[in-house]
Amino acid sequence: MKRFAPVLFLLAAACGSSSSSDDDASNDAITSNDGAVLEFAFTGELTTEKDTPARQAIVSQLQYIQGTLTTDVEANGQVGLVALSEIRETPNGDTKTIAFTASLPVIWPKGKDAPKAYDLALPADTTKLDAFNAKYDGKCGTNEYGRETFWHDWNPKAAGCAIDEADVHRSKATVRPHPNTTEGKYPEYDQVWADDELDVVAVFGIISSNTDGDEGARERESVIASFQRTLTNAKRVDNTPGASSIKDSTLTGTVLVDGKSRKVKLDAILVNELASTGGDFDERFGAATEGADLLVYSGHSGLGKNINAFATKASATKGHYQLAYLNGCQTFAYLGTAMHDKRRDLNGAAADPNGTKFLDVVANALPAYGDNGRTIVDLYDAMTGYKQHPKSYNDILTDFSSIHLVAVFGEEDNTFSP
């Protein structure tokens, strides 16, 4: 997709959902300046293969909600982290029927009236999605990235869309303000600086071509330069990239925070496609992220596959707080449960039941236009300036593009207060 360079450029028509075999998901708190945070509560039903995990099958059906909401009102739902309950599976030979109850966080653009109820029409049989896509592509929306990803563009409200009732399961979602909406929450600044060091790991994806003039390559250089201008004794080392990486640099130096000299480290890695990286990248990225404070991905979402590759490949440490910024298209919808599951396993379900105690995520509900690294630098500035000018997430989000419908989630349990 076309991007606008150098200031604004389209990162990706990011679509794609995560799949997880777990039956639960995080009940994240959500902050958004430009969107109203709603809860869509509904019951659903589908047919799937007998061996398909329930959550995987349900998410593959619910991803069609993305097309419904984006084409209807430029909203989006947190499909990858949808909360599911009352899951009932009924075997039927080689298939099974799954009934469930869902609570779906939805970012609805402010300025547009939110309904009290919303009608959903979703594929009834996930074993026949190819046939469903072929039948309705061009009639109820038109695929943008190939018929296999028609869910991205499914529009049951399109003019002339006639649906055979046997093909869909209809639900009426009740809509209310989401009970976990937050305002005035802060990143855990004190935890970030507990060791007197800010450790940032940023992965940039190639946008159109593997050249120095590519928007992703230029953004990486811009972020490195912006960090470097703030540092004393700055040292940049251009590492030998592995087979899966294009460029790999480490920047170190010190910055004054509350009159004290503190260390800053930035690992900035450029890749062609994150989902296609191999073991060399996994080793480098895993080691770098294990103790990192700020994790960044900026590039094509790859219809979700790059976002969930980032989540799966990133390391975590017990009791260590991290803020992740997923700057691609529709990352709010795509992120699955991997990052939260990892932290719940590390910290114990009793102490960290939703995997959010040591993790906050900044994500986009809609397609994202790049900003040459400006919002990454905004997060960095918030970290380094928290003593002089402590910024809440609402303050930070004022510098993010309103057209992205940016949201922060997982911050309800944050304790920092200036």
Task: Convert the chain into a string of H (helix), E (strand) and C (coil).
Answer: CCCCCCCCEEEECCCCCCCCCCCCCCCCCEECCCEEEEEEEEEEEEEEECCCCHHHHHHHHHCHHHHHHHHHHCCEECHHHCEEEEEEEEEECCEEEEEEEEEEEEEEECCCCCCCEEEEEEECEHHHHHHHHHHHCCCCCCCCCCHHHHHHHCCCCCCCCCCCHHHEEEEEEEEEECCCECCCCCCCHHHHCCCCEEEEEEEEECCCCCCCCCHHHHHHHHHHHHHHHHCEEEEEEEECCCCCEEEEEEEEEEEEECCEEEEEEEEEEEECCHHHCCHHHHHHHHHHHCCCCEEEEECCCCCCHHHHHHHHHCCCCCCCCEEEEEECCCHHHHCCCHHHHHHHHHHCCCCCCCCCCCEEEEEECCCEEECCCHHHHHHHHHHHCCCCCCCCHHHHHCCCCHHHCEEEECCCCCCCCC
The model's pTM: 0.94
Q: Print pLDDT tens along the chain (418 aa).
A: 333 333 333 443 333 333 333 445 546 789 999 999 999 999 999 999 999 999 999 999 999 999 999 999 999 999 999 999 999 999 999 999 999 999 999 999 999 999 999 999 999 999 999 999 999 999 999 999 999 999 999 999 999 999 999 999 999 999 999 999 999 999 999 999 999 999 999 999 999 999 999 999 999 999 999 999 999 999 999 999 999 999 999 999 999 999 999 999 999 999 999 999 999 999 999 999 999 999 999 999 999 999 999 999 999 999 999 999 999 999 999 999 999 999 999 999 999 999 999 999 999 999 998 899 999 999 999 999 999 999 999 999 999 999 999 999 999 999 999 9
